[in-house]
Structure 1
């Protein structure tokens, strides 16, 4: 993979991470396809020995935390 393609993956993954971060902030929906694409980009970068953009790393960490410790939904409250 060329350096230009790697840079493009980094840029696009950062943009997607920003969208997911915004959805987290406003408690909006995060589509499974967004998470899948972010994971795929992170794996691609990792395979090529390229560090993840910091926002990608933060968002993936937060998503993993949410999976481990989900917040109770409003519908579940008495």
Structure 2
């Protein structure tokens, strides 16, 4: 993977895929099914990438991320072949999402 500027076409594809994944996550949350940790992580990484490039999140992505926040009732489970993720920084992700919660006001 190379560092640098991502083309608008690639950002558009990331946005499309993140929206599709957010739809699956919300469907699982509504049905009371657990959300696999790899899907939750992929959604968080996509949201971070979009944020880094100044792309506004679609409401579906925001809603899915709020549902995955640690203080909600949403269940997140490890995949069956649980493998420790060396680059997973759960505390960092929690702080990352906390910044968005403080920045938004609910009507």
Match of 1:19 in 2: 24
Cross-structure match for 2:94: none
What CA deviation, in whole Å up to 9, does each residue of 1:5-59 have, x standing for no partner? 0000000000000000010111112100000000000000001011112100111
Flag the structure with higher helix content.
1
> Is 2:56 the counterpart of 1:40?
no
TM-score (norm 1): 0.82
Structure 2 unaligned regions, length at least 5? 1-5, 75-107
Structure 1 segments of 4+ aligned residues over 4 angstroms from their partners: none
Q: Which has the higher contact order (CA 8 A, sep 6+)?
A: 1
Give the TM-score normalised by the residue count of structure 2.
0.61
User: How far apart are residue 69 of structure 1 and its match?
Assistant: 4.0
Q: Is residue 29–residue 67 contact of structure 2 (8 Å, CA) maintained in 1?
A: no
Q: Is the 8 A contact 2:25 2:35 kept in 1?
A: yes
Q: 1:42 to 1:69 in 2, by over 3 A?
A: closer
CA 1:49 to 1:29, structure 2 compared with 1: closer, same or farther past 3 Å? Answer: same
What are the ranges of 5 or more consecutive residues in structure 1 without an aligned counterpart? 72-78
